[in-house]
Structure 1
Amino acid sequence: MSIVTRFAPSPTGYLHVGGARTALYSWLYARKTGGKFILRIEDTDLERSTQESVDAIMEGMTWLDLDYDEGPYFQTKRFDLYKEVVAQLLAEGKAYKCFCTVEEVDKMREEQMAAGLKPKYNGMWRDRTDHPENTPYVIRFKNPLDGVVVIDDLIKGRIEIANAELDDLIIARSDGTPTYNLTVVVDDWKMGITHVIRGDDHVNNTPRQMNILAALGAEIPKYAHVPMILGDDGKRLSKRHGAVGVMQYRDNGFLPEALLNYLVRLGWSHGDQEIFSKAELVELFDLANCNRAPSAFNTDKLIWLNQHYMKTLEPAYVAKHLEWHVADQKLDTSNGPALAELVKVQAERVKTLKEMVEVSRYFYEDFAEFDEAAAKKHLRPVAAEPLAAVKSKLAELTEWTAEAVHGAINAAAESLGLGMGKVGMPLRVAVTGGGNSPSLDLTLTLIGKARCLSRIEMALGYIQNRAADAE
Structure 2
Amino acid sequence: MVPAQTPRLPRHLQARLEAGLRQRGQGYRTRFAPSPTGPLHRGNLRTALVSWLEARLRGGEWLLRIDDLDGPRNRPGAEASILHDLRWLGLDWDGPPLRQSDHRGLYASLLSALRRAGWLYPCRCSRRLLADVSAPHGALAVYPGFCRERPPRWGPEAGRLPSWRLRLGEGVIRWRERCGSTGCQDGPSTVGDVALRRADGLVAYHLATAVDELLMGISDVVRGDDLWSSTGAQVAVMAALGAPPPSYAHVPLWRDAQGERLSKRHGAEGLAGLRDRGEDAAGVIGLLAASLGMVPAGSRLSAGELLADLSSQGLDRWLQQERRIREKA
Matches within 5 A, 1:33-432: 33-107=58-132, 109=133, 119-131=141-153, 133-135=155-157, 136-144=161-169, 146-156=170-180, 158-165=182-189, 166-237=191-262, 244-269=269-294, 278-282=304-308, 283-285=310-312, 286-290=315-319, 291-292=322-323
Q: Is the 8 A contact 1:227 1:267 kept in 2?
A: no
Counterparts of 1:125 and 1:263 in 2: how far apart (Å)?
47
Q: CA deviation at 1:103?
A: 4.0
Contact 2:41 2:271 in 1 (8 A): yes
The answer to whether the Cα contact below 8 Å between 2:285 and 2:300 also exists between their aligned partners in 1 is no
SS of the residue corresponding to residue 154 of structure 1 reads coil
Provide closer, same or farther for how the CA distance between residues 133 and 67 of structure 1 changes in structure 2, counting only shifts above 3 A: closer
TM-score, reference length from structure 1: 0.56
For 1:119, the aligned partner's letter is A
Residue 157 of structure 1, CA deviation: 5.1
C-alpha distance 175-119 of structure 1, shift in aligned 2 (>3 A): closer
Question: Partner of 1:330 in structure 2?
Answer: none
Deviation at 1:99, TM superposition (A): 2.7
Task: Provide, for residues 224-276 of structure 1, a one-character-per-residue CA deviation record: whole Å limited to 9, x for no partner.
Answer: 01111112343333689996202321232112122113212322538999676
For the pair shown, which has the larger CA radius of gyration, 1 or 2? 1
1:17 positional shift = 1.0
- For residues 68-107 of structure 1, give each alpha carbon's deviation from its aligned partner in whole angstroms, at most 9, with x where no partner exists: 1123111112111111111121122122222333344344
Q: CA deviation at 1:164?
A: 2.0
Name the Cα RMSD after superposition. 2.9
Query: Given residue 201 of structure 1, which amino acid in structure 2 is its aligned partner?
Result: D
Q: Name the SS for the 2:97 alignment partner.
A: strand
Q: What whole-Å deviation, never above 9, does each CA across 1:120-170 have from its counterpart, x for those lacking one? A: 3222222433527532211111122x2112343211252422112222111
1:75 aligned partner, one-letter code: Q
| CA displacement 1:259-311 (0-9 Å, x = unmatched) | 113212322538999676524525424233133458xxxxxxxxxxxxxxxxx
Write the distance in 2 (CA, Å) between the matches of 1:132 and 1:77: 26
Aligned to 1:409: none
2:180 corresponds to which letter in structure 1?
Answer: K
For structure 1, the 5+ residue unaligned runs are 295-471
- Greater helix proportion: 1
Deviation at 1:194, TM superposition (A): 0.8
Q: Distance in 1 between matches of 2:154 and 2:260?
A: 48
Judge conservation of contact 2:41–2:269 (CA < 8 Å) in 1. Answer: yes
- Residue identity in the other structure for 1:207: G
In 2, are the aligned partners of 1:41 and 1:73 still within 8 Å (CA)? Answer: yes
Residue identity (%): 34
Distance 1:237 1:175 in 2: 30
Instruction: State the AA in 2 paired with 1:128.
Output: R
TM-score, L = length of structure 2: 0.78
Q: Is the 8 A contact 1:40 1:71 kept in 2?
A: no
Q: Distance in 2 between matches of 1:271 and 1:189?
A: 38
Contact 1:243 1:249 in 2 (8 A): no
Structure 1 residues 20 and 132: CA distance shift in structure 2, 3 A: closer
> Does the aligned pair in 2 maintain the 1:37–1:69 contact within 8 Å?
yes
Residue identity in the other structure for 1:21: R
Cα pair distance change 1:267/1:139, threshold 3 Å: same
Q: Which runs of 5+ in 2 are unaligned?
A: 1-25
Distance 1:253 1:228, change over 3 A: same
Write the letter of the residue equivalent to 1:123. Answer: G
